[in-house]
Amino acid sequence: MDFIGHHVLSVDQFARADIERIFQVADEMQPYAERTRITRVLEGAILGNMFFEPSTRTRVSFGCAFNLLGGEVRETTEVKASSLAKGESLYDTARVLSGYSDIIVMRHPEAGSVAEFASASRVPVLNAGDGTNEHPSQALLDLYTIRKELEGQNRSIDGLRIALVGDLKHGRAVHSLCKMLGLFDHVEFNLVSPAELAAPADIVEALVAKGHAVNVWGDLQSGIHHVDIVYVTRTQEERFPSQEEADRYRGLFRLNQAIYTEHCEPNTVIMHPLPRDSRAQAQELDVDLNQNPNLAIFRQTDNGVLVRMALFALILNIADEIHNHARPVTWYTAKRTPRT
Amino acid sequence: MDFIGHHVLSVDQFARADIERIFQVADEMQPYAERTRITRVLEGAILGNMFFEPSTRTRVSFGCAFNLLGGEVRETTEVKASSLAKGESLYDTARVLSGYSDIIVMRHPEAGSVAEFASASRVPVLNAGDGTNEHPSQALLDLYTIRKELEGQNRSIDGLRIALVGDLKHGRAVHSLCKMLGLFDHVEFNLVSPAELAAPADIVEALVAKGHAVNVWGDLQSGIHHVDIVYVTRTQEERFPSQEEADRYRGLFRLNQAIYTEHCEPNTVIMHPLPRDSRAQAQELDVDLNQNPNLAIFRQTDNGVLVRMALFALILNIADEIHNHARPVTWYTAKRTPRT
Amino acid sequence: MDFIGHHVLSVDQFARADIERIFQVADEMQPYAERTRITRVLEGAILGNMFFEPSTRTRVSFGCAFNLLGGEVRETTEVKASSLAKGESLYDTARVLSGYSDIIVMRHPEAGSVAEFASASRVPVLNAGDGTNEHPSQALLDLYTIRKELEGQNRSIDGLRIALVGDLKHGRAVHSLCKMLGLFDHVEFNLVSPAELAAPADIVEALVAKGHAVNVWGDLQSGIHHVDIVYVTRTQEERFPSQEEADRYRGLFRLNQAIYTEHCEPNTVIMHPLPRDSRAQAQELDVDLNQNPNLAIFRQTDNGVLVRMALFALILNIADEIHNHARPVTWYTAKRTPRT
């Protein structure tokens, strides 16, 4: 696709070459995000960071990504603070807000709302999550993380073996990631979930049709045996038809260091879309994994900044201009460099 | 008036020459707002954008206007997040906050509160709406829009024929606009409202005393026949003494394309202070007007940025310095240029 | 202490020499805060201004201090808008957010939370208040104000006579100020409070052990007789075991101009951590003191900007670089200069 001036609404709009272009630009963002250099290429540009649903992490990540390119950020954080509550249409909101900034990032609780907003906007719009529908920059940062983690092991996304664990039925992040991985070659998917929360048939069928291997597992241990990546999402008890059914799975999808050591290959990378529920009863990632160097969950969020910088750079057509506006950082930055 | 260092609290403080000066500076802001150039004239300046009542549109518009001049924006968005809730006086709040920034924009739900705040502030304060009282930048952007729309038709504000439609009793925007139009010559006012929501007598009398023509109409069709501008505000059912009285007017003040085509002159400009309630039962502007090139409601909000930039420039005394800090825009901006 | 790259979590981490270094840098910030010059030394740097509890004043003060050094600010203002509400640990929040910015300011309702957050953060963290525990920049700005006010009278912190009035049991500001004053020589403390709200014994004992004089008073008039500073905090009725006990003190700890004139020395400086409850029933500072030139409460908040700029400058190691990035201010600033 041609990125310049275009909206980013769905992972479906990307071909493999587009993804590779985004990742190439994301790589170039590393020195700016890690503060060995700064760039002022977007000095004077304004991002409208419009969050009609709370999301601290995603909002701050987009905002910082724009600041790191030298631009300014104007924000909205609550639907009740907005005219939408007074019966204003998304069309009107888009026409008005797109007169204020150079580009808009938008989150909204309703599926399809961001695309509707974008169709009336006079500036490019990035979907930062529209309900159960899409959150394309999350899928891109997940895939970018997979690529970077495997690079260290001299592997690539082609031929990847991945376990997707947890609620595979409702998880927006998992669905988008599957679609994007499907664009690559010979990926082996290990789908690990309670039967009630299995991945939708259309997603599985599309992967099979493209020639990928799909294995379905009902327990964690079997699914994570021979994979490069374990991608865990929360298994929410309230998703089950009854508490009885939920009880059958209690504790079965929680990954901890002991299970990892016993069942995973030595360099298996652990991922999670975050936030992770760290309370004892949560079916996610145990805190005893925090010292595991293969826990990549915070590298994921760091990579999110790179990917979002890359999207801004490509859409606003300054990817090749960044280094012309660069200079060294003159303040203290040493603690940022070492990352586990 | 002398703008430098002064508060902007009320439309009453402006003479005709002041308004014309603001509009002249607003015209000069066009290339910056439309992104053919950027200016950094206020680099290092800080706006305190203090919204003690929600208003996404006005808040973001002021914030972007300041960013477009190169300045930074610090914000507050909720009264409950502020010390006002703990019994702090507006005097104390003003003394404290005016130590943090170069200029303050303030919205507050209580009439008179912004003037009270301003009297204790050590920096200039712009009223962005104090309850039912005043919202001077809204009135200025409305009048600026009228001027610009008529310019294209080789007409001016002198001799203007305008229809004001809807709730003329409570509408802060309408009252302020009437006051400012009253400063010009030979304006014809067509006041279109239910009898229960008629314009206050003192406003009408002041216009008549200045030699303007004032016609009062009880139905939409008669009032919009021979006018240059139709300015519509919402007719809220809850404003009526009883539902019975409200029911008598249901649908009578809703403008749509069919009524426009049948009753308006070909180039009649349609305005609205926004937000517009686009739900079917709303007595405002029908969405079928969205394709009408004379629908100026989004040009109004665009003009709001220009007018607010002009106010900042005049008060902070950098109106003549802007172009010395200007440079070309280097990022993608093509989609902003064509505006309907 | 070595400031570069370090957290600021508690007043306990400062020796006298550290405080004097902070105040020396704060003095150098004056021309930037008062707008006779601007500096862009932190252009490109990002502050994560993370307020998980509302505090307009402190949040805006830190944000403006960072802007005044040329940096950008990304903010969060509500705990419900954050992942903390979904069971995310402070460890995870810190790991994620510290990937977004160069430095973090954090307020959180729970004691100890900011230190816990800091231990997982990859960038320096400044405690902007963690419940009843600490608020070190408030203590620093109080002490800096004392120093500046006494300078005009050719006195210094050594040998200071201070009255601390109100709720000395729960007041975080008072406790921290006592600790820091304890680092200086021969301070005379006059502790004025209801018996129920007396200062904790460990704080008093520590001051006595260091050779300071501590006098305890049960009424305002006796305690403020021979002091350089009267530091008033609110005496909250709800702090008492019963309403009956609270009633015994009603009005006894409210300072007004008549009491000041009758009982204080002519140049006694009046301070308060703010916000001040200006309602008639509040046991704090009467508004009739507003014209008293020795009322230093707004000079305190102004000084807060200087102290916070100094902390940023020292931690990010640009204290000696500021003037190299300075230039004159070109916009209107005259009204800021005269301060009462």
Between B46, B88, B122, which is nearest C67 by CB?
B46
Longest dimension (CA), chain B: 62
C294 touches chain B (CB under 8 A): no
Letter string b/e over residues A24-62, b meaning 16 or more CB atoms within 10 A of that residue's CB: ebbebbbbbbbbebbbbbbbbbbbbbbbbbbbbbbbbbb
Q: How much is the pLDDT for C190?
A: 98
Q: What is the mean pLDDT of residues C322-333?
A: 94
Write the DSSP symbol of residue B255: B
Q: What is the mean pLDDT of residues B182-198?
A: 96
- As assigned by CATH, the class of the C137-298 domain is alpha beta
pLDDT band at C83, cuts 50/70/90? low
The answer to whether residue C238 scores a pLDDT higher than 80 is: no
- From the list A191, A78, A62, A203, the residue with the least C-alpha distance to A136 is A62
Helix (H/G/I), strand (E/B), else coil: C30: helix
Report CB contact under 8 Å: C56, B82: yes
The Cα of C113 is separated from the nearest Cα of chain A by a number of Å equal to: 16
Between A282, A290, A338, which is nearest C87 by CB?
A282
The rounded distance, in Å, linking the Cα atoms of A45 and A139 is 26
The answer to whether residue C192 scores a pLDDT higher than 90 is: yes
pLDDT band at A84, cuts 50/70/90? low
Between A39, A72, A339, which is nearest C122 by CB?
A339
pLDDT band at B237, cuts 50/70/90? confident
- From the list B47, B40, B64, the residue with the least C-alpha distance to B103 is B47
Q: What is the mean pLDDT of residues A310-315?
A: 98
Q: How do residues A186-237 score in pLDDT, each as one tens digit?
A: 999 999 999 989 999 999 999 999 999 999 999 999 999 999 999 999 887 7
| Best of B2, B91, B96 to mutate (most C CBs within 10 Å, chain C) | B96
C249 vs A215 pLDDT, higher one: A215
The answer to whether residue B338 scores a pLDDT higher than 60 is: no
The answer to whether residue A314 scores a pLDDT higher than 70 is: yes
Q: How do residues B275-284 score in pLDDT, each as one tens digit?
A: 998 887 788 9
Q: Give the number of beta-carbon pairs within 8 Å between A and B.
A: 106
pLDDT band at A76, cuts 50/70/90? very high
C320 touches chain A (CB under 8 A): no
Chains near A with 3+ CB pairs less than 8 A apart are: B, C
Residue B78 with chain C: CB contacts under 8 Å: 54
The amino acid that residue B57 corresponds to is: R
CB under 8 Å to B25, separation ≥6 — which residues? B309, B310, B313, B314, B319
* E runs forming strands in chain B: 37-39, 46-51, 72-76, 103-108, 125-130, 161-165, 188-192, 213-217, 229-232, 269-271, 326-328
pLDDT band at A80, cuts 50/70/90? low
Residue C297 with chain B: CB contacts under 8 Å: 92
Q: What percent of chain C has pLDDT over 70?
A: 96
Angle between helices B172-181 and B136-151 (to 10 degrees): 60
Q: How much is the pLDDT for A340?
A: 37
Q: How much is the pLDDT for B114?
A: 96
Q: What is the mean pLDDT of residues B187-207?
A: 96
Between C57, C61, C68, which is nearest B83 by CB?
C57
The answer to whether residue B253 scores a pLDDT higher than 60 is: yes
Q: How much is the pLDDT for B84?
A: 64
Report CB contact under 8 Å: B102, C278: no
| Best of C40, C96, C312 to mutate (most A CBs within 10 Å, chain A) | C96
Q: How do residues C141-190 score in pLDDT, each as one tens digit?
A: 999 999 999 998 888 999 999 999 999 998 889 999 999 999 999 999 99
Report CB contact under 8 Å: C56, B5: no
Residue A277 with chain C: CB contacts under 8 Å: 86-88
Q: Give the number of beta-carbon pairs within 8 Å between A and C.
A: 110
Torsion on CA atoms A175, A181, A183, A188, rounded to nearest 10: -110
- Ramachandran angles phi, psi of B326, nearest 5°: -100, 155
- Ramachandran angles phi, psi of A230, nearest 5°: -110, 115
Q: What is the mean pLDDT of residues B201-212?
A: 97
B320 touches chain C (CB under 8 A): no
**Strand B103-108 to B46-51 pairing:** parallel
Return the residue matching tokens 């502050």. Answer: C47
Q: How much is the pLDDT for C239?
A: 79
Identify the bridge partners of residue B196 per DSSP, sorted by sequence position: none
Least confident of A201-215, B2-16, B244-258, B289-303: B244-258
Q: How much is the pLDDT for C340?
A: 37
Q: How much is the pLDDT for B85?
A: 64
User: How is chain B split into domains, by residue range?
Assistant: 11-134+303-336, 137-298
Q: How much is the pLDDT for C273?
A: 94
Q: How much is the pLDDT for C339?
A: 41
Write the DSSP symbol of residue B229: E
pTM over 0.90: yes
Residue C322 with chain B: CB contacts under 8 Å: none
Least confident of A28-37, C231-240, C323-332: C231-240
- Both structure tokens of A61: 């990540």
Stretch 27-66 of chain B: residues touching chain A, C-beta under 8 Å? 35, 38-40, 54-57, 60-61, 63-64
The rounded distance, in Å, linking the Cα atoms of B318 and B312 is 8
Q: How much is the pLDDT for B252?
A: 82
Report CB contact under 8 Å: B56, A101: no
Report CB contact under 8 Å: C302, B124: no
Q: How much is the pLDDT for C338?
A: 41
Q: Please check whether residue B124 is in contact with residue B6, taking contact to mean a CB–CB distance below 8 angstroms.
A: yes
Report CB contact under 8 Å: B102, C282: no
Q: What percent of chain A has pLDDT over 70?
A: 96
Stretch 94-153 of chain C: residues touching chain B, C-beta under 8 Å? none
A251 touches chain B (CB under 8 A): no
- Both structure tokens of C117: 């957050």
The rounded distance, in Å, linking the Cα atoms of A68 and B306 is 27
The Cα of A44 is separated from the nearest Cα of chain B by a number of Å equal to: 6
Between C81, C96, C97, which is nearest A54 by CB?
C81
Report CB contact under 8 Å: C317, A332: yes
- CA nearest to C297 within chain B: B96
Q: What is the mean pLDDT of residues B266-287?
A: 91
The answer to whether residue C103 scores a pLDDT higher than 50 is: yes
Longest dimension (CA), chain C: 62
Q: What is the mean pLDDT of residues B100-110?
A: 96
The answer to whether residue B337 scores a pLDDT higher than 70 is: no
Between A72, A88, A102, which is nearest B275 by CB?
A88
Residue B54 with chain A: CB contacts under 8 Å: 78, 80-82
Residue A316 with chain B: CB contacts under 8 Å: 331-332
Stretch 209-228 of chain A: residues touching chain C, C-beta under 8 Å? none
pLDDT band at B78, cuts 50/70/90? confident
Q: What percent of chain C has pLDDT over 90?
A: 82
The answer to whether residue C266 scores a pLDDT higher than 80 is: yes
Q: How many CB atoms lie within 10 A of CB B261?
A: 10
Note the Cα B9 to chain centre separation in Å: 13
The rounded distance, in Å, linking the Cα atoms of A156 and A158 is 5
Chains near B with 3+ CB pairs less than 8 A apart are: A, C
A110 vs B234 pLDDT, higher one: A110
Return the residue matching tokens 């009649």. Answer: B268
Q: Please check whether residue A273 is in contact with residue A138, taking contact to mean a CB–CB distance below 8 angstroms.
A: yes
Burial class (CB in 10 A: 0-12, 13-18, 19+), C28: middle
- Ramachandran angles phi, psi of B27, nearest 5°: -55, -40
The Cα of B32 is separated from the nearest Cα of chain C by a number of Å equal to: 18
pLDDT band at A338, cuts 50/70/90? very low
B29 vs A283 pLDDT, higher one: B29
The secondary structure of B40-77 as a DSSP string is -TTTT-EEEEEESS--HHHHHHHHHHHHHTT-EEEEE-
Q: Please check whether residue B259 is in contact with residue B220, taking contact to mean a CB–CB distance below 8 angstroms.
A: yes
Report CB contact under 8 Å: C276, B317: no
The answer to whether residue B50 scores a pLDDT higher than 50 is: yes
Residue A104 with chain B: CB contacts under 8 Å: none
- CA nearest to A318 within chain B: B331
Residue C91 with chain A: CB contacts under 8 Å: 278, 287, 290
Per the prediction, chain A carries an average pLDDT of 93
Architecture field, domain C11-134+303-336: 3-Layer(aba) Sandwich (3.40)
Report CB contact under 8 Å: C96, A57: yes
- CA nearest to A56 within chain C: C82
- Both structure tokens of A195: 């039967």
Q: How much is the pLDDT for A87?
A: 84
Between B38, B54, B274, which is nearest A80 by CB?
B54
Residue C302 with chain B: CB contacts under 8 Å: 99
Return the residue matching tokens 């963002």. Answer: A29
Q: How many CB atoms lie within 10 A of CB B24?
A: 12
The rounded distance, in Å, linking the Cα atoms of C152 and B107 is 38
* E runs forming strands in chain A: 37-39, 46-51, 72-76, 103-108, 125-130, 161-165, 188-192, 213-217, 229-232, 269-271, 326-328
The rounded distance, in Å, linking the Cα atoms of B53 and A223 is 53
**Strand B72-76 to B103-108 pairing:** unpaired
pLDDT band at B339, cuts 50/70/90? very low
- CA nearest to B301 within chain A: A96
Report CB contact under 8 Å: C40, B42: no
Per the prediction, chain C carries an average pLDDT of 93
Report CB contact under 8 Å: C60, B48: yes
Between C40, C55, C332, which is nearest B317 by CB?
C332
The amino acid that residue B271 corresponds to is: M
B332 touches chain A (CB under 8 A): yes
| Best of B56, B79, B287, B297 to mutate (most A CBs within 10 Å, chain A) | B56
- CA nearest to A60 within chain C: C74
Q: How much is the pLDDT for C84?
A: 64
Q: What percent of chain B has pLDDT over 70?
A: 96
B2 touches chain C (CB under 8 A): no
Q: How do residues A130-175 score in pLDDT, each as one tens digit?
A: 998 999 999 999 999 999 999 988 889 999 999 999 999 988 899 9
The answer to whether residue C82 scores a pLDDT higher than 70 is: no
The rounded distance, in Å, linking the Cα atoms of A69 and C123 is 20
Q: What is the mean pLDDT of residues C229-247?
A: 85
Q: How do residues A270-301 score in pLDDT, each as one tens digit?
A: 999 999 988 877 889 999 999 999 999 999 99
pLDDT band at A337, cuts 50/70/90? very low
The answer to whether residue C81 scores a pLDDT higher than 60 is: no
C274 touches chain B (CB under 8 A): yes
* E runs forming strands in C102-232: 103-108, 125-130, 161-165, 188-192, 213-217, 229-232
